[in-house]
């Protein structure tokens, strides 16, 4: 099986080829067609199995085919537990989306909020965020979810282990009801299953 057989467009195929990947991993083979089809998706995959590409590639393709970005809006939100993971995911988005005209950013604590606010004012197609910093930005009225198409929870089990359940619930309560939901987790304890429902 090839990435082309999964239905990805040429700009994404070129970016994947540039990255040196020849064929999709099992999680990519399963997730990419489902996400491209518009369905909510739950995936179980250990770290290092290619799950980031499994959700970012189809999401970037779908975002590229929709209405242009508006100022102060976000079209896709990826929540993850740590600054390090946010940077990794954001770098993957930049690598896979380099032939697309999409804007992305990562926001997390421990650094100045000012550049993050400036980025948000311009509008962001894909925002990667840790829950705490995102809530700070929401409280300062810097985030507008009206045009949100995608909500992704990555490393859901780690997020719950780190005590982010109430933050996740607060954030999801602010999102539009009509959106595509993607959840990826290495394990599926009862709290993750509850969150999935």
Taking residue 149's Cβ as centre, other Cβ atoms within 10 Å add up to 18
* pTM greater than the 0.85 cutoff: yes
Across the chain, what does the average pLDDT equal?
A: 92
| Residues in CB range of 174: below 8 A, 6 or more apart | 138, 145
Q: How confident is the model at residue 185 (pLDDT cuts 50, 70, 90)?
A: confident
The residue with greater pLDDT, 188 or 118, is 118
pLDDT 10s digits, 121-178: 999 999 999 999 999 999 999 999 999 999 999 998 888 888 888 999 999 999 999 9
Count CA atoms closer than 13 A to 89's CA, side-chain side.
34
User: What DSSP state is assigned to residue 165?
Assistant: H
């Amino acid at each position: 099986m090839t990435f082309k057989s999964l239905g990805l467009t040429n700009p994404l195929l070129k970016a994947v080829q540039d990255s040196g990947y020849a064929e999709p991993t099992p999680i990519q083979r399963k997730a990419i067609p489902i996400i491209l089809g518009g369905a909510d998706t739950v995936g179980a995959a250990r770290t290092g199995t290619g799950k980031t590409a499994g959700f970012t590639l189809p999401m970037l393709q779908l975002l590229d085919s929709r209405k242009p970005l508006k100022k102060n809006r976000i079209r896709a939100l990826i929540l993850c537990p740590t600054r390090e993971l946010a940077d990794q995911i954001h770098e993957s988005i930049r690598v896979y989306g380099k032939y697309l005209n999409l804007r992305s950013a990562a926001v997390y604590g421990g650094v100045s909020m000012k550049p993050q606010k400036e980025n948000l004012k311009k509008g962001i197609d894909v925002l990667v965020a840790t829950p705490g910093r995102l809530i700070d930005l929401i409280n300062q009225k810097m985030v507008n979810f009206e045009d949100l198409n995608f909500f992704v929870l990555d490393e859901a089990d780690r997020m719950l282990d780190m005590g982010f359940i109430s933050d996740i619930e607060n954030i999801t309560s602010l999102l539009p009801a009509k959106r595509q939901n993607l959840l990826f987790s290495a394990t599926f304890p009862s709290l993750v299953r509850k969150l999935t429902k």
